[in-house]
Chain A
Amino acid sequence: MIQRHIFGHVFALEALIAAGVFVVVLALLVYALLRRRAGRQATASRRTERPRLEAYYVAVLTAFGVFLVAWTAWQNHREHHTAERPPVRVDVSSFQWCWTFSYPQAPQRRSASGTCRGDDLPTLVVPTGRPVKLRLTSRDVIHSLWVPELRYKMDAFPDHVNSFTLTLDREGRWMGKCAEFCGLRHHTMHFWIKAVSPEEYHRFLQGQQGGGGQGAAA
């Protein structure tokens, strides 16, 4: 769940900085409101600018911007660093208005789909502790695969394959959604992502146990 970790770090830091900046600006505003009111006999300053102070300020802003760009770009690369071990592959095909997950490494071709109506949601089954490479495409319009719990999404285009690698460190089941508006039933285009132990995943691939079929519950 490296995406979730990295998102957590970067979001926390940026939110903290943002809150700090907001508090400083708000404090200056409140100070001006309290102390510079016409009723308090304040006199307006005639100073038109403070170029030296402004230059220092711009330098600080620039340095800060450089840090932010460099640090977050590094985090972004860390997140997309491909693991050494060969990943588990899953092909994801999106369509109006549901998903198909196929497992090209299964002995017999195995795939799960659904209608995304009511409880009929397809389940994407992945093993824990191993990198899983999702190859993402679309049969009609642009969709976007989003698993809020993993703090990650990627768009699915027709005539184009996007891929990204996930690693889940614990077992569980989370909901995924379509994030790109795709028409009438966009708001119900959900799926389940279910992380199981490698042994169970192996059994699943062999077709011995359900879990990827018609919205099998965890």
Chain B
Amino acid sequence: MTLREHLLSGEALGQRYALAVPQTALAGATGNQLGRRAGTSIDFQDYREYQPGDDLRTIDWNVFARTDRLTIKLFREEVNPHLDLVLDASRSMDLENSPKSAATLRLAALLGTAAENGHCTHATWLAGDGFQRAANDTMLPSAWDGLAFTSRRPLDEAFAILPPRLRRLGIRVLISDLMWPVEPLTILRRLADGAAAVFVVQLLAQADTEPPEHGNIQLVDSETGEEREIFVDATVAAQFRAALARHRESWDAACRQTGARFVSIVAEKLDASLPALEEAQLLVPA
């Protein structure tokens, strides 16, 4: 299947969902959703005393007539919530003999479509040699382009080279296998800074979660090309599983520490993992 087909598949899947927008995300540019602050909508929110600089058009003259005090009338602001989709574009997301890249594209398209359904704007960032936006990323996912998983740099290096200009009070979703040695908090703090909500979706291939069968194995790092020969037996397999569990636990703990939500799903079981995204309050049925 081609890139477009994966995006279309994800888009079709996302028609059933809408992005769950948290209250903290109801801020931003003028849009078609009521924000949590006072704005220019027609929905009355509150009164307060006039302060210098307030728009004189909002003075409620009837109240002034009755109380001889300048009081302005506050209306709810109308905002467009925003989704910043951060995709790990490293080569490990395109692991050979696995549907990892396809699942990433489908999941990104699903979230983009769900954002559309939730009247959210959205942007898609690719973490390669710095962060770059995908072409046509404000349009429907099927129009996205330039999504390639070819980077050899981990996410923290991309942040260092060229950080993304993430929308304030936006919903930020990181889709990555998180397979690089880094202190999770360094990434999460940058993602959580100014965000209404942060979701970390760890997308792994089945091969990432299960060690190889017994025998001599030559492991090749998909990003660095580094090779390592090991003999896998029951002990080594158990050690691998323990290391993976520890790695997940460290990310989960860091997410809890920063208020982010952590979800780990397997690429081969993407469709079956969508309820987990609902549980994490990232998606709601449309």
A and B physically associate: no
Which residues of B are at the interface with A, using a C-beta cutoff of 8 A?
Answer: none
Residues of A at the B interface (CB closer than 8 Å) are: none
